[in-house]
Amino acid sequence: MNDFTLIRKNLTRRRLRAGLLIFSIFIAFLIFGMLGAVRHVFSGENIKIADDRLVTVNKINFTQSLPVAYVERIRAVPGVRAVSYANWFGGYYQDPKNQLFTFAVEPESWLATHPELQIDDAARKDWLGRRDGLLVGEAAALKWGWKIGDRVPLSSNIYSQKSNGSHSWDFTIIGLYTVADPNVSTNAVLFNHAYFDESVSFGRDTIGLVVLTVDNPAMNEQVGRAIDAMFANSPAETATDTAKAFNKAFAAQFGDIAMIVTLVVGAAFITILMIVGNTMVMAIRERTREIGVMKSLGFPARRILLLVLGESLLLSFAGGIPGIAVATVSVGLLGHALGDFVQGLTMTPGILATALALMTGLGFCTGILPAWKAMRLDIVTALGRS
């Protein structure tokens, strides 16, 4: 027997009570872990994007279009190295719920502004040569079981064809792209803007966004300001920001999910804190006499304090560790299932570290008051009148 035996036996002397407390802490950390991972996704912190890339969109908001002529004017801004542009196609495959990250892009310049996309020479040749060519990210191809050479119809929930009013366009998969960095997603589907532009029923000669790289990331702000100044007071004013910031803003359209998650988790923890804290106070009060006996045996006050604190910490970790472990596994499975769409849904070391800190904090906060009382307890009073 050692102090840990004592702590463990003290904690489990009322099995139902301990079980319920551990379960509620388990749930709290399960929620914390899962929502923490979700929050991480929507915070945009997970997205790996080159530092020297800027995105120019309509100042009103990014669903408004820009004249295609802006591309050449932006190319002329000092410090701009390469420029490309894209339209968000709003594409889906077969069924509207099979949403895809589909962009109509200018092929050559898109590759120039996105050097992280790796494609082989054959694919590059077809991609630049074939109007209906579809360049598919590795993850997307895997998900839909696509191979090079497949004919794939993609539908748009925005655009239709001017010839027949159909929302569907036919494509041929000419290649897959990969990336070296596992944190970069390969779930996009890209096709030739010219093919789109010539067949679309409305919105010709307009683009959704301009992507550009600059000579030096230090010039980001300067270049961005120069671009926006150039189109100030025109019918389509622009807003230029880093691609990183743009992605963050894109994520924010889902509402301030990070804030909501923080509030939910915060409320859960305050509740748990009060329930566990109150139960610990009651549990230790029930043991007043025993604590008096231990002191009479010669247990010093500090050791009594540590025994009680150890108990609340053990309680917290007994619920918290399994909670965060199950959250990690669940997030891993979910991340796998949603891989294409929710990029970066994984348990991060930051979330785990925060969880451990929270467990320690919870254990400490719920234990310190009863531990302090137990430490200060007067033996004669504790042993009571018999």
Partner 1 sequence: MSDNIIELSGVAKRFVKGKDTISIFDHLDFTVPRGDFVALMGPSGSGKTTLLNLLGAIDRPTAGEIRIQGQRIDSLSEGELARWRGTHIGFIFQFYNLMPMLTAAQNVELPLLLTRLDSRARRRNVETALKIVELADRANHTPREMSGGQQQRTAIARAIVSDPPLLLCDEPTGDLDRDTANEILSVLQLLNRDLGKTIVMVTHDPEAAKFASRVLHLDKGRFAERTTAP
Chain residues binding partner 1 by CB under 8 A are: 1-3, 5-6, 9-10, 12-13, 289-290, 293-301, 379-380, 383, 386
In the bound state with partner 1, the residue whose beta carbon lies nearer, of 198 and 290, is 290
Give the integer Cα–Cα distance in Å for 70 and 75: 8
The two three-digit tokens of residue 19, written as one number: 């079980």
In the bound state with partner 1, the residue whose beta carbon lies nearer, of 250 and 372, is 372
Instruction: Compute the least distance from the CB of residue 306 to partner 1, in Å.
Output: 12
Residues 6+ apart with CB under 8 A from 76: none
Instruction: Compute the least distance from the CB of residue 290 to partner 1, in Å.
Output: 6
Instruction: Compute the least distance from the CB of residue 302 to partner 1, in Å.
Output: 8
In the bound state with partner 1, the residue whose beta carbon lies nearer, of 97 and 385, is 385
Nearest to 178 by CA among 126, 129, 114, 128: 114
In the bound state with partner 1, the residue whose beta carbon lies nearer, of 7 and 243, is 7
In the bound state with partner 1, the residue whose beta carbon lies nearer, of 165 and 298, is 298
b/e 340-371 (16+ beta carbons within 10 angstroms → b): bebbbbbbeeebbeebeebbeebbeebbbbbb
CB 27 within 8 A of CB 215: no
In the bound state with partner 1, the residue whose beta carbon lies nearer, of 4 and 254, is 4
In the bound state with partner 1, the residue whose beta carbon lies nearer, of 78 and 300, is 300
* Helix (H), strand (E), coil (C) string for the chain: CCHHHHHHHHHCCCHHHHHHHHHHHHHHHHHHHHHHHHHHHHHCCCCCCCCCEEEEEECCCCCCCEECCHHHHHHCCCCEEEEEEEEECCEECCCCCCECEEEEECHHHHHHHCCCCECCHHHHHHHHHCCCEEEEEHHHHHHHCCCCCCEEEEEECCCCECCCCCCEEEEEEEEEEECCCCCCCCCEEEEEHHHHHHHECCCCCEECEEEEEECCHHHHHHHHHHHHHHCCCCCCCEEEEEHHHHHHHHHHCCCCHHHHHHHHHHHHHHHHHHHHHHHHHHHHHHCHHHHHHHHHHCCCHHHHHHHHHHHHHHHHHHHHHHHHHHHHHHHHHHHHHCCCCCCCCCCCHHHHHHHHHHHHHHHHHHHHHHHHHHHHCCHHHHHCCC
In the bound state with partner 1, the residue whose beta carbon lies nearer, of 14 and 143, is 14
In the bound state with partner 1, the residue whose beta carbon lies nearer, of 226 and 293, is 293
Instruction: Compute the least distance from the CB of residue 19 to partner 1, in Å.
Output: 15
